[in-house]
Amino acid sequence: MATEQAAAPQVTQLAEEFRTAFKAVEEEVGKVIVGHQEIVRGVLTVVFAGGNCLLEGAPGLGKTMLVRSLSQALDLRFSRIQFTPDLMPADIIGTTIVTETEDQKREMRFQPGPIFAQIVLADEVNRATPKTQSALLEAMQEHSVTVGRTIYKLEQPFFVLATQNPIEQEGTYPLPEAQLDRFLFKLNVGYSGRQDLAEILRRTTEARNVECQKVIDGPGLLKHRKFVRQALIAPPVQDYAVRLVLATIPGGEFATEATNKYVRFGASPRGAQALVLAAKIQGLLDGRYHASFEDIQAVAKHALRHRIILNFEAEAEGVTADDVVTELMKAVPMQVDEA
């Protein structure tokens, strides 16, 4: 009991430090990005959870500017990769070149590519071919790059923030399911409203130059990520996240009518991990040291929409993954009686 009482003030202090750091970054990014508060918070949730984020939206909506602003607020090494149809995997990972040593001998030396950073902006990632897209897989999941027989570890913290155009646009290649699953969140960036657009014009067409100040470094971010994983989640709340994910699998024990009718493949265990980590952050930002049922619901669409593969019937009827997730949250009870 004495240990718990001693630990309580420390937890309170760490929670306050987490909220302060999160909101400081949020405010700095807000100096440049007008509106899109939900998108900004979603991206920061991914960053503090230790995952990767996919931003989808039409060109010109500020996706790249958002990532650039975030890189200015974080004291981390940043690199940008512009994905194009002719981009090759070696352009991302790097390549082995022949170099001449001081004693006039030749040797093979690995030249690292732009993936060897801490914040990697994969801009218009679905403009490249699937072969090139797959070059990101190992880095996103394992935080390492394998070249030949050598494994190169990436500096921590490391995360990929990718942007993509809607897949209906000409010249785009849908991301493989295996790569989509490695994104903690997929965020849909919409159009700005009247007031936000007017503010954008004021900021971009007048003699104003606003830049973000660095507010957190790598060790600080890693400390907050560790703290997020220490936050509590009650067994019934975790079970709700589990049942919600299992309900996306057609023909499964918890499948709903909407799932069996419209879903071809459901979410993987990574979907449940995303729900729990993001819900913990929601709780911390709300002043709690635990995740709630409402926190799970608040992040469900962001965590599951890209992990649900719809069938032809859904496409024919205009049903989206968000529609399916909405139905799941209505159909899956928050609490169930123990058997």
CATH number, domain with residue 270 = 1.10.8.80
**Rounded distance between C-alpha atoms, residue 271 and residue 294, angstroms:** 17
Same-domain status, 278 and 218: no
Q: What is the spatial distance between Cα 88 and Cα 319, in angstroms, rounded to a whole number? A: 35
Residue-number span of the structural domain to which 308 is assigned? 231-339
Q: Which of 228, 258, 287 is the last residue of a domain?
A: 228
Radius of gyration of the chain (CA): 22
**Statement to judge: residues 204 and 236 lie in one domain:** no
| Bridge partners for 150 per DSSP | 147
CA-to-CA separations, 138 to 128, 144, 181, 194, in angstroms, rounded: 17, 6, 12, 42
pLDDT at 298 over 80: yes
Residue range 150-166: mean pLDDT, rounded: 88
Per-residue confidence at 53, pLDDT binned at 50, 70, 90?
very high
Give Cα 77 distance to the centre of its chain. Answer: 18
Share of the chain above pLDDT 90, in %: 33
pLDDT at 49: 92
Examine the pLDDT at 46 and tell me if it is beyond 90: yes
96-100, 152-156, 176-180, 269-273: range with lowest mean pLDDT: 96-100
Q: Are residues 238 and 325 both part of a single domain?
A: yes
pLDDT category at 4 given cuts 50, 70, 90 is very low
Torsion-angle region of 62 (φ positive above 0: left; ψ -120 to 50: alpha; else: beta): left
> pLDDT grade, residue 273 (50/70/90)?
very high
Tell me, what's the pLDDT at 31?
Answer: 79
Residue with tokens 């997730």: 325
Average pLDDT over residues 229-234: 90
At 1, is the pLDDT very low, low, confident or very high (cuts 50, 70, 90)?
Answer: very low
Residue 181: exposure state from Cβ atoms within 10 A (0-12, 13-18, ≥19): buried
Q: Which of 180, 209, 228 is the last residue of a domain?
A: 228
Q: Please compute the mean of the pLDDT values over residues 27-56 and round it to a whole number.
A: 87
Residue 14's pLDDT is 87
Structural domain count, the chain:
2
What gap in Å lies between CA 292 and CA 283, rounded to an integer?
Answer: 7
The band of 133, judged by pLDDT with boundaries at 50, 70 and 90, is confident
- The number of CA neighbours under 13 Å toward the Cβ of 86 is 0
Mean pLDDT of the chain, nearest integer: 85
Whether residue 185 contacts residue 302, with contact meaning beta carbons closer than 8 Å, is answered with yes
Q: Are residues 67 and 198 in the same domain?
A: yes
- Are residue 69 and residue 80 in the same domain, yes or no? yes
What pLDDT is attached to residue 337?
Answer: 66
**Residue of 297 and 336 predicted with greater confidence:** 297
Shared-domain flag, residues 190 and 330: no
Instruction: Identify the band that residue 6 occupies on the pLDDT scale cut at 50, 70 and 90.
Output: very low
Residue pLDDT, tens place only, 185-224: 999 887 877 787 787 777 777 766 677 788 888 888 999 9
Do 218 and 115 have their domain in common? yes
175: number of Cβ within 10 Å? 25
pLDDT, position 339 = 45
**pLDDT value of residue 275:** 94
- For 42, 66, 123, 198, the CA distances from 60, given in Å and listed in that order, are 19, 11, 12, 15
Q: What pTM was estimated for this model as a whole? A: 0.86
Is the peptide bond between 157 and the residue preceding it cis, with omega within 30 degrees of 0?
yes
Examine the domain organization and report whether 170 and 273 are in the same domain.
no
Q: Say if residues 256 and 247 touch (Cβ distance below 8 Å).
A: yes
**Mean pLDDT across 269-288:** 93
Q: Are residues 35 and 178 in the same domain?
A: yes
Q: What is the CATH number of the domain that holds 87?
A: 3.40.50.300
User: Which phi and psi angles does 168 have, rounded to 5°?
Assistant: -75, -15
How many angstroms separate the CA atoms of 80 and 70, rounded? 13
